Amino acid sequence: MAAARVPLWAICVLRVALATVYFQEEFLDGERWRNRWVHSTNDSQFGHFRLSSGNFYGHKEKDKGLQTTQNSRFYAISARFKPFSNKGKTLIVQYTVKHEQKMDCGGGYIKLFPADMDQKNLNGKSQYYIMFGPDICGFDIKTVHVILHFKNQYHANKKSIRCKVDSFTHLYTLILRPDLTYDVKIDGQSIESGSIEYDWQLTSLKNMEKASAEAEGWDQAAKDKSQDWEKHFLDASASKPSDWKGELDGDWQAAMLQKPPYQDGLKPEGIDKDVWLHQKMKNNYLTEYDLSEFENIGAIGLELWQVRSGTIFDNFLITDDEEYAENFGKATWGETKGPEKEMDAIQAKEEVKKAQEEDEDDMLMGRFSGRENSFKGFHRRNEF
């Protein structure tokens, strides 16, 4: 008997059930977003956000997101979720960003914070785990930041990742895997990937632990070699005293001619490896979380500067399932990207048409004004 085929919808439902969604925000309930997102009051000059789909969009309601509203301002806003650790799990951070104002200088990135982050006091000095997304300023800076917190320091990807610079909505995805590989996607397409250790030029704690074990082996080898080395400095002409009794006095050893030179910071020839200071590393680091592993993720936020406002942030997602993130991106950005460009094209045509009509009106007014002036001149000439 042939096995029964499992319908596609059942597979999709099972996949959703297996995925863990830590945070998802589409702003589909109007102004209720204010109950979930907290503006920082650290600085009274922080810019304000509003809910908007912008001047052009694919769907007026689905494309609504947090929009910056004031020029030349810092912004700081965040939302909480149930704290979790991604240790041993894949972590995907995804969202859409639209620089409708054609960004000249400003950030479009997001940050993931520890659960104990003070939302009301969020500012540029607030500790974060991950900073990810586009940053544009002038002709030089058009980059996608991927900054990770590791061993109490921030580390940026050493590769240059270019961001989108047009005024349309784009989908940004960061994938961090437990095997220490990563993937950066824009609009569902991988634009950079590889090894976190190599591309951040960092050493994982797993490899540190391996190195520590190797170091212990070298320490023992060094100890054994040093004992052999000491024999080279024994007085070869010396002989065991006639009254030496091994049972009482132990094994006889000739006197040392001089102090071995490997002591006091030096080492004997024949030991071709440095003795690593692995004990300090073991005590301080091996109990910490490894590269791209974070203990207490509990908030997502926008903490950035913009010269010209108008950016819209939407479709936030934090999950452990790459397929779920891909499907979510298709169901949100994927559904509205086409209609958004169509609306923009229609508006562009209308603006061109309007400009042409205004030019024609100006020309007609110019002609009428010229005739009127000629008529007045004719009457003046006839007055004489």
What mean pLDDT is reported for the chain? 82
Q: Residue 369: inside a domain, yes or no?
A: no
pLDDT grade for 14, boundaries at 50, 70 and 90: low
> For residue range 333-384, what is the model confidence (pLDDT) as tens digits?
999 999 999 999 999 999 898 888 777 767 777 665 655 555 455 444 344 4
Least-confidence region, from 166-175, 205-214, 350-359: 205-214
For the chain, how many structural domains are there in total?
Answer: 1
Average pLDDT over residues 44-67: 97
C-beta separation of 77 from 37 below 8 A: yes
Determine whether the annotation assigns residue 135 to a binding site.
yes
CATH of residue 28's domain is 2.60.120.200
Report the C-alpha gap between 224 and 353 in whole angstroms: 89
- The whole-number pLDDT of residue 358 equals 75
Q: Residue 224: inside a domain, yes or no?
A: no
Tokens of 16: 């959703």
Q: At how many degrees (to 10) do helices 322-331 and 8-18 cross?
A: 110
In this predicted structure, the answer to whether residue 33 has a pLDDT above a threshold of 50 is yes
Q: Identify the helix (H) or strand (E) that includes residue 88.
A: none
In this predicted structure, the answer to whether residue 153 has a pLDDT above a threshold of 80 is yes
Q: Residue 108's domain spans which residues? A: 21-202+293-342
In this predicted structure, the answer to whether residue 200 has a pLDDT above a threshold of 50 is yes
Report the C-alpha gap between 186 and 163 in whole angstroms: 8
Distances (CA, A) of 320 to 69, 180, 330: 33, 15, 17
Helix (H, G, I), strand (E, B) or coil at 335: helix
- The whole-number pLDDT of residue 284 equals 42
C-beta separation of 184 from 190 below 8 A: yes
Q: Residue 316: inside a domain, yes or no?
A: yes
Helix (H, G, I), strand (E, B) or coil at 38: strand
- The whole-number pLDDT of residue 223 equals 58
Determine whether the annotation assigns residue 154 to a binding site.
no
Whole-prediction pTM: 0.73
Tokens of 312: 């819209």
- Taking residue 301's Cβ as centre, other Cβ atoms within 10 Å add up to 23
- The share of the chain scoring above pLDDT 70, in percent, equals 70
Region of 129 on the Ramachandran plot (φ > 0 left; ψ -120 to 50 alpha; else beta): alpha
Q: Residue 29: inside a domain, yes or no?
A: yes
Helix (H, G, I), strand (E, B) or coil at 250: coil
Q: Residue 284: inside a domain, yes or no?
A: no
C-beta separation of 338 from 61 below 8 A: no
Determine whether the annotation assigns residue 100 to a binding site.
no
> For residue range 280-313, what is the model confidence (pLDDT) as tens digits?
434 443 346 788 999 999 999 999 999 999 999 9
Q: Residue 281: inside a domain, yes or no?
A: no
Q: Residue 227: inside a domain, yes or no?
A: no
Determine whether the annotation assigns residue 128 to a binding site.
yes
- The whole-number pLDDT of residue 263 equals 47
Q: Residue 273: inside a domain, yes or no?
A: no
- The whole-number pLDDT of residue 351 equals 87
Exposed / middle / buried, residue 350 (Cβ in 10 Å: 0-12, 13-18, 19+): exposed
Residues whose CB falls within 8 Å of the CB of residue 43, separated by 6 or more in sequence, listed in order: 74, 76, 123
